[in-house]
Amino acid sequence: MKHITQGILSSALVGLLALTATNAQAQCTTWVNPTDSSGWSDFNSQFGGAPTPDGSGNCATNEITAFEVYADEAYAMNNIQQGVTYTWSACNGTGGTAWPLMFTIINPSGTVDAYGTNAGSNCALSWTASETGTYLIVVSEVGACGTSANASTNNGYPSITCGGTIGMAELAGEASIEVFPNPSNGMITVTLEGMEGQGVLEVMEVSGRIALSTNLKAGETTKRLDLSDLSNGTYFVNLRQNGKVTREKFVLAR
């Protein structure tokens, strides 16, 4: 992956280097690339940073398709405006949701505005900017803050839009899944909505290893899985269909 020259960030952002996330599942302020203090500056070089809504609230989507996001990296984003709602996404691209994504949005003062992904999404995060200036957007793997094994595995085109809507074609009409009970003692039921045709259902460890895979028939709306052979911990159910992946997290606890 080739990037344009790194941007120079404010001293407040550089001071963020010393921070280590206290809960890697919640937010991540540790990254590796391009350095542990700066973010890739491609958005600033190509677009001047984040898009700005027009007088009617409409907003462009600034998307880079020359490469896809990796884990343990950060992007510097100029032109963020206080009070505007933005959506950062890695939903598009051939590698989208190849591993469980985690985003952390860091404002110019070095504090976190938002983290995680939107409810019902596994590839996008919306937030309302608390400050004006250059932000850092950290891309990491859930449960692997700065230590991901997927630091060279593609996971969707990086993009940003504003106006409070995701605006990504891949999210329109996306299937949804629900896992219950959650936490589970080993038996789970997966309910499926919006699925078109056949698909594949996977149970994935946070490491990215697939622990179970089963085919889904067209029109199938529920699937009961026996996971009693798996160890306690956090897992993901992946629904793979038509080149898209829908993901839901659950916990095994006995």
For the chain, give every domain's residue range: 11-170, 173-252
Instruction: Give per-residue pLDDT as tens, 53-92.
Output: 877 667 888 999 889 999 999 999 999 998 888 989 898 8
Residue 4 DSSP class: P
Instruction: Give per-residue pLDDT as tens, 152-166.
Output: 888 888 999 886 443
Architecture of the domain spanning 173-252: Sandwich (2.60)
CB 142 within 8 A of CB 25: yes
CB 36 within 8 A of CB 30: yes
pTM recorded for the entire structure: 0.59
User: Each residue of 150-175: b (16+ CB within 10 Å) or e?
Assistant: bbebbbbbbbbbbbbebbbebbeebb
Architecture of the domain spanning 11-170: Sandwich (2.60)
Give Cα 190 to chain centroid, integer Å.
22
Provide the pLDDT for residue 207: 62
Residues of the chain with pLDDT under 50: 1-25, 164-173
Provide the pLDDT for residue 95: 66
Provide the pLDDT for residue 11: 34
Residue 134 DSSP class: E
Closest CA to 198 of 215, 221, 181: 215
Number of helices (H) and strands (E) in the chain: give both, helices first: 2, 15
User: Each residue of 75-92: b (16+ CB within 10 Å) or e?
Assistant: bbbbbbeeebebbbbbbb
